[in-house]
Amino acid sequence: MTADWRFGTRGWQRLDAIYPARTRPADQLSVYATHASVVEAENFFSGIPKPERVQALVEQSPDGFKFDVLAFGGLTLYQRRPGLSDLGTKSWKDVAVEPPDVLFEDYCASLEPLCTAGRLGAVILQFPPWFESGSAGREYLERIREQMPMIPLAAEFRHPTWTVPVNRDLTLETLIELEIGLIVADFPMGTDEWMPPIDTVTVDDVAVFRLHGQNVSGWARTLVSPVEPVSYTYSADEISSWVDRVRAVSREVDEVHLLMGTGPTDAALVAGRLLVEAVEAAEESESRWGYDPESIS
Tens-binned pLDDT, residue by residue, of the chain (297 aa): 467 899 999 999 999 999 999 999 999 999 999 999 999 999 999 999 999 999 999 999 999 999 999 999 999 999 999 877 667 678 899 999 999 999 999 999 999 999 999 999 999 999 999 999 999 999 999 999 999 999 999 999 999 999 999 999 999 999 999 999 999 999 998 888 888 888 899 999 999 999 999 999 999 889 889 998 999 999 999 999 999 999 999 999 999 999 999 999 999 999 999 999 999 999 888 776 655 544 433
Give which of 240, 250, 245, 248 is closest to 271, Cα–Cα.
Answer: 240
Query: What order do you get walking across the sheet with 38-41 strand by strand?
Result: 38-41, 66-70, 120-126, 153-156, 180-182
Domain 4-295 is found in CATH 3.30.200.20: no
pLDDT at 194: 80
Q: CA 129, 134, 139: angle at the middle one, nearest 5? A: 100
Can you give the residue ranges of every domain in the chain? Answer: 4-295
Integer distance in angstroms from the first to the last C-alpha of the chain? 23
β strands within 152-294, DSSP E: 153-156, 180-182, 184-186, 206-211, 230-231, 255-260, 262-263
Distance CA 193, CA 129 (A): 7
